[in-house]
A and B are shown apart, each in its own frame.
Chain A
Amino acid sequence: DIVMTQSPDSLAVSLGERATINCKSSPSVLYRTNNNNYLAWYQQKPGQPPKLLIYWASTRESGVPDRFSGSGSGTDFTLTISSLQAEDVAVYYCQQYYSTPYTFGQGTRLEIK
């Protein structure tokens, strides 16, 4: 199984500041035939289902604010929120959909400092 490890487990950032969440996969989730990274990011607020933010590691889902961006390739990935808003308080998960069983990171809790 592909293991997904996020860091940090929790993060407190001031409003308007940048938030960065890291995700490492073992092994790689880069499919060399099409050069796509099979990596997604989700946001989950309390009492709600997860919401897809980013797929292919860096493609923003329709309707997602452009302050959210994803980067990385192979085994190391980053979700960045460029200017934190109050509504961004949530738990964020990375997920690989390279091979089954699809696996998620343990989650990163983002709070306001």
Chain B
Amino acid sequence: QVQLVQSGAEVKKPGASVQVSCKTSEYTFADYYIHWVRQAPGQGLEWMGWIDPNIGDTDYAQKFQGRVTMTRDTSITTAYMDLSRLRSDDTAVYYCARGHGESGAFDIWGQGTKVTVSS
């Protein structure tokens, strides 16, 4: 079945960078946007941006502009999210999610990657 499998938990120091990967399977990677959403502990959902795996176009939330980079490797059907200059308030679970083909809502989600930023 369609799956998005994310990389494992990370612990980083303030100022460092983190990369989270999202390995997709059982669908045509190029046909569906990949979105990144994060959730701070006990908090709600925050959209970070999307990447079009077909041509690599991206759209980032203004809040993350200059710190986030979304890329993909079509040969291994994997999307990546890099976040730099980490702060303690970047501590969160980071999700990748597939854009629903019919509507644009997010129909398939990865299991989440916990990123902890602590000195």
Contacts and interface: CB of A to CB of B under 8 A. Distances in A.
Contacts of B100: 52, 55
A105 B45 CA distance: 8
A85 to B, nearest CB: 22
Contact of A104 (B46, B62, B109): B46
B31 interface: no
A106 B44 contact: yes
Interface size class of A (residues with CB under 8 A): 20 to 34
A105 B44 contact: yes
B44 A52 contact: no
Interface of B, helix, strand, loop or mixed by DSSP: mixed
A93 B110 CA distance: 17
A38 B104 contact: yes
A93 B50 CA distance: 19
Contacts of B45: 42, 50, 93, 95, 104, 107
Contacts, number: 60
Contact of A51 (B46, B109, B110): B109
- Chain B residues touching A, range: 20 to 34
A52 B49 CA distance: 18
B103 interface: yes
A14 interface: no
Interface string A21-64: 00000000000000010101010000001111001100101000
A101 B61 contact: yes
Given A106-B44, A107-B44, A97 B103 contact: yes
Contacts of B111: 49
Given A100-B59, A100-B61, A50 B44 contact: no
B112 interface: yes
Contacts of A55: 100, 102-103, 105, 107
B44 A40 contact: no
Interface of B: 35, 44-47, 49-50, 59, 61-63, 95, 97, 100, 102-107, 109-112
